[in-house]
Chains A and B, each alone.
Chain A
Amino acid sequence: MLMFMQVQQPKTVEEAHALMVKQKMAPILAGGCWTRLGNRKWPMVIDLSELGLRYIEEEDTEYRIGAMATQRDVEVYEPFKTFCRGVLPKAVKDILGVQFRSMATMGGSVAAKFGFSDIIPALLALRAEVRLFEAGRMPIEQYLTYGTRDLLLEIIVPKQEVPVAIEALRKSTSDFPYLTGSARLDDQGYSVYIGCRPGKPALATKACQMINENGLGALDEAVTLIQEELSFQSNSHAGAEYRLEMAKNMFKRLVKEVAQWK
């Protein structure tokens, strides 16, 4: 459960960032849904609920999702129901239930960089960016390896109607996924990301290169490369070997789905 002695509720992003820098160990509370699953008692937490970061805005070329917008906000936001065939609502809809998604935030899901995230693979396929207080804008792919304690302000999704597909495998409804994936097809070719291995989602570079150079006829050969380039491990949700075999099939399904996009 979430235990702490003191809570700070900054009113501006400047104040929040200064607190984050000063209180290096203090957890940042976005939705707080996963933070509470630990057992540690924290001297202080920094709560972001009063920063005015709960919004979704549509611009000419992009959508801007405030870090404190909830997963439910994304699920019911009208333009997202049709944007890229509803990929964003689809990415959140299996995360527990409505009550949970009304609390869990998009920023919290991204900033925590959870391996089991349903959302990050979709954002990777959409070529989303994040805007950080200190570092400014950066592609989400780069953010996944960015190590600085920075304040995530918003997620920026380009308005590009390109073929994208996502998938998450679970043992049962509302459980954590044991494998996630996403695919994109654009003028650069296919990009396929596999996550929850159980690590953060990563691009299957060699496998994608194989099909980009040789076409879909090389799919069977391409998936054999996945184990060379991505690591698979075992945990309570699935074994490493099982994950790998499922990843190969997921890769094929995702590629076929974006290839057949009309």
Chain B
Amino acid sequence: MEIMLQVNGVKRKVLIETDEMLLETLRNLGFYSVRCGCDTTNCGLCTVWVDGDPMLSCAYPTFRAVGHEITTLEGVAEEAAHLADCLAEEGADQCGYCTTGMMMSAIALSRKYPNATDEEIKAYLNNNLCRCTGYESHMRGIRKFLGGKTL
């Protein structure tokens, strides 16, 4: 089926399989920040925003995206670069596989809850799994990112 999809502010015609998930569509379009981890809605690696809300693209049927604004990490590159610096400075960058999904959640958090407490950060990022760092370094990096934004 052919649909109109708006990704990072740009509208385009896209030919998709009826049962295609957004993850696959976005990768086919070249948005390689969106990656497949568990493919069972558990790991958060495939996180994108739909109308500003973080969602799991592995479970989001593409046909539903019509009329909605999809945002990937490529669409928030400036904030992503700042957050990446914060994470790297705090050592939250071992294998890096979880990082893109983690960043999409963290940037969404920073926009919705710029004064988030540690508990709120943990709750918001609960669906983003990391198997390297133990999350402490992520917490430091995200705190630094949020602090930087509110200064």
> Roughly how many angstroms separate A100 CA and B105 CA in the complex, as a whole number?
12
- Closest CB of chain B to A98's CB: distance in Å? 5
B56 interfacial by beta-carbon distance below 8 Å: yes
Interface string of A120-154 (1 = CB under 8 A from B): 00000000000000000000000000000000000
In chain B, residues 53-90, which have Cβ atoms closer than 8 Å to a Cβ of chain A? Answer: 53-56, 59-61, 63-64
Question: Which range holds the interface residue count of chain A?
Answer: 20 to 34
Please state if A99 and B40 are interface contacts (CB–CB under 8 Å).
no
> Roughly how many angstroms separate A1 CA and B20 CA in the complex, as a whole number?
10
Please state if A174 and B53 are interface contacts (CB–CB under 8 Å).
no
Please state if B126 and A98 are interface contacts (CB–CB under 8 Å).
yes
Interface string of A1-23 (1 = CB under 8 A from B): 11111110100000000000000
- CB-CB < 8 A to A4: which residues of B? 18-19
Of A29-37, A178-186, A195-203, A236-244, the stretch lying at the interface with chain B is A29-37
B139 interfacial by beta-carbon distance below 8 Å: no
- CB-CB < 8 A to A173: which residues of B? 126
Partner of B41, one of A72, A96, A98: A96
Given known pairs A3-B19, A5-B18, the reply for A102 and B41 (CB within 8 Å) is no
Chain A interface residues toward B at CB < 8 A: 1-7, 9, 29, 32-33, 36-37, 47, 49, 72, 93, 96-100, 102-103, 173-174
Chain B interface residues toward A at CB < 8 A: 18-19, 21, 39-42, 44, 47, 50, 53-56, 59-61, 63-64, 105, 123-128
